[in-house]
Amino acid sequence: MTQETEPQFISVPVPSQYVTQVYAYIAELTGATAATPSVSTVPPVDPSDGDPLPVVEWTVEDFRRLMIEPLSSVQTIIRVLDLLAKQPDTRVSYTSLAQHLDMEKKSLQGNLSAFTRTVRRHYKRRNWPMTWVEALSSEPELKSEFFYTMNAAVAERWLKARAQG
């Protein structure tokens, strides 16, 4: 007869800018949905921080490869890219994305963090096919939030890849 043991937890100091990425990684390891603390959302690593990975333009072939990626986090980001490509050069708030995807904000943040790792590990670049900026929010409970945008050229390549299936 085996006795089930409770998992043991230890505290590990993590720089604040990486907290959501660590939560997403733990969720990925356990197969759970990432839970993040109730703080403002944190964007992926800032490209101006001396990161050795290059900024590489996303091609139609990159997008076709991305579309067949089985990770649920990537499939969620594909839905984000679909939304952004429908309105190129338009800022879409984090709150609005979560609402359109019918997701909790915490879960969306976990998926965004996991996507950062996928981009870095499998695409060997540091940039997403969309950009983000923090700006004042129209949400009453938020002072500011992140807004995501896909420029027209990237949106055109994304839509071409989607059409090719």
Would you give per-residue pLDDT tens digits along the chain (165 residues)? 445 566 666 667 767 666 566 655 665 565 543 333 333 333 444 545 567 899 999 999 999 999 999 999 999 999 999 999 999 999 999 999 999 999 999 999 999 999 999 999 999 999 999 999 988 878 778 788 899 999 999 999 999 999 997
Residue 51: its pLDDT value, please? 76
For residue 88, the 8-state DSSP code is T
Rg (CA), the chain: 17
Residue 98: its pLDDT value, please? 96
Residue 165: its pLDDT value, please? 79
Neighbours of 46 (CB within 10 A): 10
Residue 45: its pLDDT value, please? 45
Residue 16: its pLDDT value, please? 61
28-31: long-range contacts (C-beta < 8 A, 24 or more apart)? Answer: 28/73, 28/114
Query: Whole-prediction pTM value?
Result: 0.69
What the chain holds in terms of domains, given with CATH numbers, is: 16-37+56-164 (1.10.10.10)
Contact (CB, 8 A) for 100 and 82: no
